[in-house]
Amino acid sequence: MPETVTLDTEALRMRLNEVRQRIEMGARRVGRAPEEITLIAVSKTHPTHVLDRAIMAGARDLGENRVQEAQGKIEALGRERARWHLIGHLQANKARRAVKIFDMVHSVDTVALVERLERLCAEEEREELQILIQVDLAGEVTKTGATEDELPALVDALSRCEHLRLMGLMTLPPFFEDADRARPYFQRLRELRDALRARAAFSTGDGELSMGMSHDYEMAIEEGATMVRVGTAIFGARAAAV
Ligand SMILES: *Cc1c(COP(=O)(O)O)cnc(C)c1O
């Protein structure tokens, strides 16, 4: 078990600033503007009071991977205090709750889920919900995410929705000890995003690229990431593997 470190607001502020500095350096290395990159602080498994401190320390976007766990935290802290991102797999029976609490869902990967979310938005009077399509570029059977072949049908389904806004793509490459091996996955996601952008597939803007975690976000930024999902580098090691 990793030791449980008590992170106060000041410690979190320092961690957040360090990550932001690295984001800025990564962006500058490839001539990008750091402002195009959103830092999502991945707070899964951490207790509500730690999220509260992270928000006080300046975190604006928080990422959670389980609807049930997120619901308690978001209700306790308040929907308005941060922008809430669902980054984990969404089961059909949790979709209604997800529609009520999240600002952006990064893990949409089937047409059935698109149709369900659209219907639930109407039922819950949710004007709009921001969506990223999760693409599985590794073809690992255990992984969630749509394959490249499934992508056109998903984009099509989303284009017919009144409430769902396709904002971009997300990927979670296989874990490599040598982070450099993730680079081709980031490059491929960017190519897919560029192709969709050329067809004006995205609701607004240029199409987000949600890619990069604690061990590889600087590389992801070099490859074009506009959203990085960083947990461990901000909050420290998680007690349980998730
Ligand atoms: C947990 C998680 C992260 C953050 O991982 P760290 O290595 O702690 O930065 C990012 N994305 C997804 C989808 C995750 O589940």
What is d(CA 159, CA 95) in angstroms, rounded to the nearest whole number? 19
pLDDT in tens for each of the 242 residues of the chain?
A: 444 556 899 999 999 999 999 999 999 999 999 999 999 999 999 999 999 999 999 999 999 999 999 999 999 999 999 999 999 999 999 999 999 999 999 999 999 999 999 999 999 999 999 999 999 998 776 678 999 999 999 999 999 999 999 999 999 998 888 989 999 999 999 999 999 999 999 998 799 999 999 999 999 999 999 999 999 999 999 886 55
Total count of residues recorded for the chain: 242
How far apart are the C-alpha atoms of 109 and 63, rounded to whole Å? 18
Cα–ligand 1 centroid distance for 63 (angstroms): 9
Instruction: Please give the sequence-ordered ranges of beta strands (E in DSSP) within 11-152, or none if there are none.
Output: 38-42, 61-64, 83-86, 104-108, 129-134
- CA atoms of 97 and 93, how far apart (whole Å): 9
Q: Does any ligand 1 atom lie closer than 6 A to the CB of residue 175?
A: no
Of the residues 176, 213, 235, which should be mutated to test ligand 1's pocket, given the most ligand atoms within 8 Å of the CB? 213
Q: Quick one: DSSP state of residue 69?
A: H
Question: What are the Cα distances from residue 101, in Å, to 4, 64, 105, 220?
Answer: 28, 11, 10, 28
Which atom of ligand 1 has the smallest separation from the CA of 107?
Answer: 13
Q: Are 38 and 23 in contact (CB under 8 A)?
A: no
CA-to-CA distance for 208 and 225, rounded, in angstroms? 7
- The β-bridge relationship of strands 164-170 and 104-108 is unpaired
C-alpha–C-alpha distance, residues 51 and 87, integer Å: 16
Q: Which of 185, 209, 187 is nearest to 197 (CA)?
A: 209
Atom of ligand 1 nearest to the CA of 87: 13
Closest ligand 1 atom to residue 233 Cα is: 9
Placement of tokens 């897919």 in the chain: 192
Q: Which of 208, 211, 218 is nearest to 22 (CA)?
A: 218
87 Cβ closer than 6 Å to some ligand 1 atom? yes
Q: Which of 19, 22, 65, 235 should be mutated for ligand 1, with most atoms under 8 A from CB?
A: 65
Q: Indicate which residue's Cα is closest to atom 11 of ligand 1.
A: 229
What global pTM score does this model have?
0.95
Going from the C-alpha of 209 to that of each of 70, 78, 96, 128, the distances in angstroms are: 23, 27, 25, 20
